[in-house]
Structure formats: structure tokens, C-alpha cells
Structure 1
Amino acid sequence: MGQDNLSKFKINREGPSSMKNYPKFGANNSGPGYGGVVIVTILVSLFVTTVTWFFLNGAIKTVSDKVGEVLNTGLEEVTQEGGTVADSDTRRVIVKEESAVISAVKRAQPSVVSIIATKDLQDFYQNRESLYNDPFFDYLFGEGNVTPEGNSSNGNGTGKATVGGGTGFFVSQDGMILTNKHVVADDTADYTVLDNSGQEYLAQVLARDPAQDIAIIKIEGSDFPIAELGESSALEPGQTVVAIGNSLGEYSNTVTKGVISGVGRSIMASDNGGVNGQIIENVIQTDAAINPGNSGGPLVNIEGQVIGINTAIDVSGQLIGFALPIDVAKEAVTMVKETGEITRPYLGVRYIPITPEVATSRGLAVDYGVLIAKGTQYGMEAVVPGSPAAKIGLKENDIVFEINDQKIDSEHDLSSTIKKKRVGESVRLKIMRDGKEQILNVTLEAQP
């Protein structure tokens, strides 16, 4: 899959040190995120440069006095009159954001849980050398920092070692929990859920999404508080959002506030400098702090509705976090409820999106579509062996420029177009090979 114009980001993989002295969700943790920042702007008529007691006959206070009143009271109606008394322009600013954020947190927080991954110490010590040599592990958790539970003398202890964790939230009253796939990616680990009251439950992984960083786990029980799922299709930059999660694996119920910085982003998320990378498309960019441990937690709007799943951070910059749109996760939840698994259609090619610049530099006959090409890492073939693309004979350097008569371009990229189809559906590809157009029909299969 093409990586032009894509930045590389670290997935928030939570690890061993994250659960040391793990606090209960019910703890009275304090921290940033509960207070709002209020900026009050006073609009003064261009016809007046100075407001004096003489000109207004003592009718109103100076502008500076009025601003002072607002900043001191925090939640107060403000009226500024400028210009002459006859043509004054009255503006009212009502400061309510702080209380709205607190209300949103109170609505969403009961559904948020902490997820803890543990392994037998014997298995852990057999694999710890590779962990210690992992730069990503060292970056997040400190070199060799683990939390064994039990006797660990001579490096051959018994018991459990905490090897990771993250956040999730209830999506059904019978215990279904939505989280990130990378939080529960280890098939050999055991997963424990800590709910908002501090109660612990053993969790089972029901399904992992093959195409998105989404997983669904389940605990036994009933009447769990579920999160209200909002809509992510109409999000706009500037909207206030709140990220809730188990920050750094130690501070449960952590709340950070920010805004939506952008929508429809595509990122390359990886866990070790590009190794095991995965392109994640159409994500939400936010400046609300998403720290290691927040992975899988909800990103909520001012109404307390979940509009995204906290997923990744850009470690090269500050205040750049990413969340998966909740609409994508809703599909996964529905699939699991109906079939017990998450299936996504796929074609099975890696590609470079063709732009006019790419077409010019490579001497291509068309300036849209995708060029099938090998990945940047060793072993990343242009056409995945055994895939639907391989079965119809697609080759490296083929250009796919239409699917079912839909032009493939920046607004209709190949991956998103395929994901809108169904497993088992037949689609028509218009390709160019060696300068000649061809039509190929392919039946989409479930992505492994």
C-alpha cells in the first residue's frame, strides 16, 4: 500500500510498567482536563477609540473594568456597548463550556474500563530479552521496566507478569467492550478488566478487526453502564472533544480536553520505527492529549457521546493525537453481535496513489488511480499471494484507475472504495498494463 504523503506514527502500545501499583477506577484522581479555558473578546466600534467617563456621562464603566468582571466571575453574561449611545452594538458572551465538559465526562465516564494484559512469568522471562531490545518498548516504559507478580527469583518465578494494557468502554449491557486491537493483540496473554467501581473481571477476546485497529472483548455480567455512541460522519475541525482513559497505565479516569484538529487523515501507525506498520485511514486528528494507556478509550463530544476511539499519537510532535471514527466501530460491533466475527473485504494489493506529480515523475499515461508497487519493507510484495488480486493475475506496475466505473482519485481512494463493498461481491476493475487498458472482474474475499 502506498505510503506517499503519509507520516509515521507510534501506536500507543501499553506495556509492563503501566500497571505498577495500579489504582482503582473509583479512586479520586485529580488532574488536567476538568477546567475550561475562557477567552473573552470585546468588540469595540471602529468609530470610537477611547471610552471616557466624560463622553458617556458616567453611564458605564470602562472597557477594562468590564473585562475584569468577566474574567473574575467565569460564568457571567457580558454586554459591551461601543460607539455612540444611539448606534451602540451590543454583544453578549455566555461562558458555559467548563460546565458542559464536566457534564460530558460524568455521562461517559461510568462506561470506561481499564484493560490489563498478563502472562505467566515463565513465558514472560523466555521472551523478555526481545522486549528489552525493542526501542518502542524502551521509549514508552523505560528499559527493562516490568511488573512481575509472584516469586521471580533467578528469573524463573511463578505467577503472572503484567505485560501491557489500555482502555475500553462498554457497548452492551451484557459486557461487550470496544477497544483497540493493539491493546489485546497477544494471543498468549490473559486479559483482565477493571470497571469504574474497581471490580475485576476476566475478559475474553471475541474478535479482532483485520482492517482496523479495533477489537471487541467481553466479560461476564449484566446491567453494565454502556457508552452512548454518537455520529462521526459530520464532525468538523474546531469541535470540542474530551479523551478519557488510563493515562500511562497508572492514572485511571484521566480526562484531557481539546478540539478536533482535522478529519479524514491517513496515517502509518507502527509499533517499532515502522515495523509491523499499518495504514489507518480516515482518522480524526485532535489536540486532546492521548497518552500511552489511553489507547482504546473514548473520544467524546460536548454531549458526552463517543465519536472516536483513541488510537495513536505522533511521537515527533506535541498535541497531535488520532482517533478512529466511531461509525467504523459501530459496524464492527454489529458484525460481532450478528455473526460473532468481524469481516472486511479486501483486494490484496499494495499501491502508490497516482497524482499529477507522480504521473510526471514516473512517466505514467494517467494522472489518477493507483500504481501497484512493493512495500518499503522486505517481503512486502506488490500483490499479496493467494489474494483475490493474485487470483485474477494483477501484477506489479499495473495501474488500477476505475472500480465499477468509479474513478479512483483523492476523493475515492482504492482502499475506502473496496471497504464499502461486501465479502463475496464481484467488482469490475479497469486497469492499464503496458499502456493498454483491460477490464478484470474480481470477487472480493474476507481479509485474513
Structure 2
Amino acid sequence: MEPTGNAAAVTQSVDSPSTSPAHSRRLRRGALGAATALLVCLAAASPALAAGHSTGAPTLRDWGSSSSQGGSGAQSWESPYGSGSSGSFGAGATSQPATAAESAGVVLIDTVLPYQHGQAAGTGMVLTSNGQVLTNYHVVQGSGSIRVTVAQTGQTYQATVVGADPTQDVALIQLAGASGLTTIKPDPDGVDVGSQVTAVGNAGGTGTLTAADGEITGLDSSVTAASEDGTAPETLTGMLETNANVLAGDSGGPLFDAQGEVVGIDTAGSSGGAPDAYAIPIDRALSIAQEIQSGHETSTVRIGPAAFLGVQVSSASSYPGYGDGARGGFATTPGAQVSGVVSGEAAANAGLQTGDVITSLNGRAVSTPDDVSAALVGANPGDNVPMGWTSQDGSQHEAPVTLGASPVA
């Protein structure tokens, strides 16, 4: 989520706004779904996000709905879709089916990942009648295909990513062949602490919209996210905080005010204890969408596809035969172990195979899966970068890699 071509992950832990005691919580980002493949579209981040320290507060998870599992263990995937379970992420709070008014301009998003057919689900909001839809970047990150269903009509469309600002977790997608769609009504006035709000989204990835009432509890919350092992932290500031019961799958959905106008994008929420959720203010998200619509790339806003390496990686620990004189023992090899390679993509074309360990990329040493994505920050499709790796037999290799383009995001 940095320079053009990058899709670094915005994983989150939470600090409450200045109006309440500071706290830090675990979060999960990603459309609750399969662990996604680090098909390095440049996204960095493992599925779960953790705060830097524990205070005994409820776990905060990112929103999406889990439908299938593409990987396990410490694997890091290009997209930070979580492997979390579906169900209620807020004790004692309830939600109900969204009304027709609350469903207007809202879509359900289902994605398929290009590795092991992992799936994920989230929500989006229609900005234009011809099918431009606003959502969280993590909902579509690393996707091989995106299918969007209009909640009001049930009509489905294929979609592509127009552009994104991964640092702000905002993406704009385009529905193919859409016309005459109802659009959302953004709030022009803002909200105050205590304002009544309703979070709407594809909770649990069930394919139907639900709504949860609450109120604004903070206006300037900072949400810091990191991968589950505490690496690659990212921070979102100026977030709206609410006690509406946001659930997995709600990511990218609208946070409505009492007048039915959208004040924010549902982004993360608690998985235990009293509901505590966070939304990106709609005016900030729309400003980013307008930059994307204008085709104006910046150090954070990317237009079009991200660079794509095409590997699934995990932490490299101990492997038989590496550096041990082939005596059948185990030795530790620093780097990122390749758990899967996408046929026909950059890594495969360079000769990388499952079981190899990436040790350097784009002039940087690689010690962890996060380093793979970090090394590609600012890279673009078509860039030629050096890559070093260790084969399963312990032999060392280095070769240039021509980065491809992400299938979707």
C-alpha cells in the first residue's frame, strides 16, 4: 500500500480516539475468506492482524466471510484475506435484514483467488449508474476474479479493479456492462459522537444484506494493523468508531446516518465483548475515488493492476538437507519458502519451484514472507527485477524476473 504498483496490506490494530482510554486490539482484515496466495501483487500481510501489545481487549477482525481455505499455518498470501470464521463478532448485539432503503446502492462482492481457488466475500457501494463501485482494498486484493451482485435486483456482473490506494484501504472497481444502477447518497455534513448510525453489509458472506444499529463513539480513531506475527504494521488514522455490530463480510459496506446517507465504509470490528467497529470517513474515500477516476497516479494511488510475482510463500524454518552436507539432517535457511507457484507467471518463468526459498528480491535481502512484498513496493507490471533463491537440494540461484500484472487486484 504505498507507491504506484504496490498493494501493501493495511492490517490493523486499534487505538481508541482521544475521547476514550487508549487501547490496542487484534484485528483481522481481508474479506473473510480463504487464506489468499501471496501471488505477490505486492500485497503484504498475513491474514490476521495483531496489535503491538495486549491489554485483554476483545479481538478485532477484518471483515469478510470465510468460504474456503486456501492455505494454513504461517503461510503468507499476497492478499490479506483472512481465514476467520463466520458468525457474530460482537457479543450481545443483534442485526436484522437490511431494508429496501438500506439496500439501495449496495452490492455484494464475491472473489476467487488465482491460487487453490480460495474464495472470499465482502460488500461495496455504487458510485455511478454505469457501475463504478467503492469498497475496501482488502476486499478485492489479490483476486483472480470478482463477481458483484446488486442487492436490489439480484443481477450479477463481473468486475475489474480500476485503481486503489492500499495505504488507505480504498479501491474502485468497475462492473462490466452495467447501466442504470441506483447510487448511494454520501453525507455532506459529517457526524458527531452520539449520532445514530447503521452498518449494512454482507455479514458472514451469506449473500444477503443485514443491518446493525449503533452510534458514533469516536471521530478520530487511529487503527494500527500488523500481520499476525506483529510484522508489517500499517496505520489508518481519522477513522470513525462505532458500537454498531459490524461482522465479517461487512467490509466495504456503508455506515449510514439517521437520514440514510453514507458517512463511512465499514472496515473492521470486534470479535468479542462489546461491539467496537471502525469505518473510513466517506469524504476521504470519495476523494481517493475521484483521483482514481481522473487516472491520476500518486505515491499511494495506483491505477490499473499491481505488479504480480505469482508465488505463495511462508516462513522458511528448517528444511532437510539444506547446508548439512546432504546427511539427511535439518538446517535453518533464512528466507521465504515457496508454498506454491502460479503456472505461467513471473516466478514460474524464472524457474522457481514449490519448496524453494526466496533469499533476495529486487536488490533486497528476504528473511520473511513480508520481505517479498516489501521488496516490490513501487514496482510495476513489466519491471525486470533480480531474484535469488535456494533450491531444495541446497543450490543457490539468481535470475532476472519480469513482473506480470495481477489478474485483478
Q: TM-score scaled by structure 1? A: 0.47
- Measured at CA, do residues 192 and 342 of structure 1 come closer, stay the same or move farther in structure 2, by a change above 3 Å? farther
Aligned to 2:126: 170
1:242 aligns with 2:290: no
Aligned to 2:27: 10
- Measured at CA, do residues 318 and 32 of structure 1 come closer, stay the same or move farther in structure 2, by a change above 3 Å? closer
Of residues 191, 203, 206, the one that matches 2:146 is: 191
Report the alpha carbon displacement of residue 342 of structure 1 after superposing the two structures with TM.
6.1
Q: Percent identity?
A: 28
- Output the aligned Cα RMSD: 3.5
In the alignment, structure 1 segments of 5+ residues that lack a partner are: 21-30, 36-101, 125-160, 346-376, 388-448
Aligned to 2:111: 117
Aligned to 1:324: 280
Aligned to 2:53: none
CA contact (8 A) 1:247 1:291 kept: yes
Report the alpha carbon displacement of residue 251 of structure 1 after superposing the two structures with TM.
5.1
Q: What is the letter of the counterpart of residue 155 of structure 2?
A: Q
Q: What is the letter of the counterpart of residue 230 of structure 1?
A: D
Q: What is the letter of the counterpart of residue 127 of structure 2?
A: V
CA contact (8 A) 1:269 1:312 kept: no
List aligned pairs for 1:370-381, cutoff 5 A.
none
Aligned to 1:395: none
User: Computing the radius of gyration over CA atoms, which structure comes out larger, 1 or 2?
Assistant: 1
CA distances 1:91-150 after superposition (whole Å, capped 9, x unpaired): xxxxxxxxxxx8xx5334121111111135xx31xxxxxxxxxxxxxxxxxxxxxxxxxx
Report the alpha carbon displacement of residue 302 of structure 1 after superposing the two structures with TM.
0.8
- Measured at CA, do residues 114 and 251 of structure 1 come closer, stay the same or move farther in structure 2, by a change above 3 Å? closer
Aligned to 1:282: 238
CA contact (8 A) 2:14 2:25 kept: no
- Point out the more displaced range, 215-224 or 9-18: 9-18
CA distances 1:21-50 after superposition (whole Å, capped 9, x unpaired): xxxxxxxxxx95459xxxxxxxxxxxxxxx
- Measured at CA, do residues 214 and 386 of structure 1 come closer, stay the same or move farther in structure 2, by a change above 3 Å? closer
- Measured at CA, do residues 380 and 118 of structure 1 come closer, stay the same or move farther in structure 2, by a change above 3 Å? closer
Aligned mates of 2:172, 2:109 — CA distance in 1: 12
Aligned mates of 2:253, 2:14 — CA distance in 1: 27
Corresponding pairs, count: 236
CA distances 1:262-287 after superposition (whole Å, capped 9, x unpaired): 11010113453534432110101111
Report the alpha carbon displacement of residue 340 of structure 1 after superposing the two structures with TM.
5.6
Q: Is the helix fraction higher in 1 or 2?
A: 1
List aligned pairs for 1:400-439, cutoff 5 A.
none
Aligned mates of 1:293, 1:269 — CA distance in 2: 18
Aligned mates of 1:385, 1:34 — CA distance in 2: 44
Q: What is the letter of the counterpart of residue 111 of structure 1?
A: G
List aligned pairs for 1:251-400, cutoff 5 A.
252-270=208-226, 272=228, 274-315=230-271, 317-339=273-295, 341=297, 344=300
Aligned mates of 2:247, 2:300 — CA distance in 1: 29
Aligned mates of 2:100, 2:297 — CA distance in 1: 32
Q: TM-score scaled by structure 2? A: 0.51
Q: What is the letter of the counterpart of residue 205 of structure 1?
A: V
